[in-house]
Amino acid sequence: MIGVIGILVQGVLLKQFTDLVGERFVVVIAFICGSVTNVLYAFAPTKKFIFAAVVVSSFTGMSFPTISAIKSNNAQESEQGRIQGALYALSSLANAVGPAMLRYAYQQTKDTEYPGSFFLVATVFFFVATLCAFALPKHKANSRDEYTPIPLESEN
């Protein structure tokens, strides 16, 4: 299920979202979805909430390719490899440090009324990332100056 939704989001919807609102707001939307996902995980009373969180989390996957596109649009051709390497290095660092931080937060909250509240730590990080995405200058983050809605019907 996760794979199919991820393919749909990144293979079909990502281009449409980018054309509709621009790269900057796609990153903002992706990070907001990450926040919502973690809040759902934190307070999920039933499995239905977990499944809903999985669907919402698929939209978080739009962030990395969009950030990569923003990077590509703003780096000189001779710097593309170095910038891409730095982007992957940051991603690797987050993948290494994040689980350790969440494990520590879990150890501190596991005996509380909401043992899943350690997911709120991740929500805080997504919130900070959302603020950073909002702070990106429009003229550098977006590949176009204007975004117009995509026609939903063919105009034949």
pLDDT digits (tens, 9 = 90+) for 22-69: 899 999 999 999 999 999 999 889 999 999 999 999 999 999 999 988
Helix (H) / strand (E) containing 12: none
Instruction: Name the pTM for this structure.
Output: 0.84
Q: Both ends of the chain: CA-CA distance in Å?
A: 36
pLDDT, residue 13, reads 92
DSSP structure string for 69-128: HHHHHHS-GGGHHHHHHHHHHHHHHHHHHHHHHHHHHHHHHTTSS-GGGGHHHHHHHHHH
* Angstrom distance (rounded) from CA 17 to CA 147: 10
Residues 83, 71: contact at Cβ < 8 Å?
yes
pLDDT tens digits for range 87-122:
899 999 999 999 999 999 999 888 888 788 889 999
pLDDT, residue 73, reads 85
Which pair of structure tokens corresponds to residue 82? Answer: 């170095």
For residues 96 and 150, which has the higher predicted lDDT (pLDDT)?
A: 96
- The values of phi and psi at residue 39, to 5°, are -65, -40
